[in-house]
Structure 1
Amino acid sequence: MTTWRVYLSGEIHTDWRDRIMEGTSALKLPVEFSSPVTDHDASDDCGATILGGEDNKFWYDHKGAKVNAIRTRTLLEKADIVVVRFGDKYKQWNAAFDAGYAAALGKSLIVVHDPSLTHPLKEVDAAALAVAETSEQVVDILKYVILGKLDR
């Protein structure tokens, strides 16, 4: 059986990734997960820590964004399915960028967010093949597309 590569992008403040990974594991689905670095401080500081500090915040962030992009681009390009979760606490411009990048690559895109975000995310939702509200719905989508079986 084929192993499906699923990239999990988006907010880092809830357990949504764990719930998807636990749900697919419980079903014994052949899925390999990847994601961006979810340690917020490491993600922010990687460029300056590795390549040298910057006094100007723009260049500090620029270095970090580029170093992080090495991981993000590589894993997004290898993914069969990209799942992007938008939370309601912060503006996740990086998640929106990942969704757009995945769509531009022709990746199968699943977007996850609360219905209250439907209007601000309408363009992102329009690019997705599925828009879910919960991690459990994502697990059900993965089960269906991998096994071709629908629980009724």
Structure 2
Amino acid sequence: MHYAVYLAGEIHTDWRDSLIAASDGLPVSFTAPVTDHAASDDCGVAILGAEPDKFWHDNKGAKLNAVRTRKAIEEADIVVVRFGEKYKQWNAAFDAGYAAALGKSLIVMHGADHQHALKEVDAAALAVVETPEHVAQILRYVTEGTLPR
């Protein structure tokens, strides 16, 4: 069995690379949002034209990014949402809620300091973890039925 895994959330660290490396050899494929922060922020105005008002600048970008995000979440078997330490990721919370509403298997990743703020998001998840290695161990268990060595 092959699983499509969407990696949502925080884009300021290399957690995706760590997870993909730790999942090497498993029957999984990964998709993700555009992780180039500048490209993600400015795609709307770069493609559709400049906006003098920051609200409309951001609105255009959010809508174009949603084309990719919605399709990836809808096609995913498993959605992993990472909440980082430095920023409040409202987009990550939205992705988690969208995945939960679609009945996707949801794995949420964050540090212990975010536990209270994310308690409702955590309650919708099938697993809450702190590291990419935990996610890889879950993927190994789900695909192979083996426990960590």
Partner of 1:73: 70
Amino acid at match of 2:96: A
Determine the C-alpha separation between the residues in 2 that align with 1:151 and 1:86: 24
Determine the C-alpha separation between the residues in 2 that align with 1:88 and 1:82: 20
Partner of 2:80: 83
Q: 1:56 aligns with which of 36, 50, 53?
A: 53
Partner of 2:141: 144
Partner of 2:8: 9
Determine the C-alpha separation between the residues in 1 that align with 2:85 and 2:23: 25
Listed one character per residue, the Cα deviations across residues 56-103 of structure 1 (whole Å, up to 9, x for unaligned) are: 111111010000000000000000000000011001000000000000
Amino acid at match of 1:10: G
Residue aligned with 1:54, SS? coil
Equivalent residue pairs, number:
149
Partner of 1:119: 116
Amino acid at match of 1:150: L
- The alignment yields a C-alpha RMSD, in angstroms, of 0.9
2:96 matched to 1:99?
Answer: yes
TM-score by length of 1: 0.96
Q: 1:110 aligns with which of 99, 107, 110?
A: 107
Determine the C-alpha separation between the residues in 2 that align with 1:122 and 1:31: 28
Determine the C-alpha separation between the residues in 2 that align with 1:52 and 1:13: 27
Determine the C-alpha separation between the residues in 2 that align with 1:135 and 1:127: 19
Give the C-alpha shift of residue 150 in structure 1: 2.0
Amino acid at match of 1:71: R
Residue aligned with 2:23, SS? helix
Partner of 1:134: 131
Q: Any stretches of 5+ residues in structure 2 without a counterpart? A: none
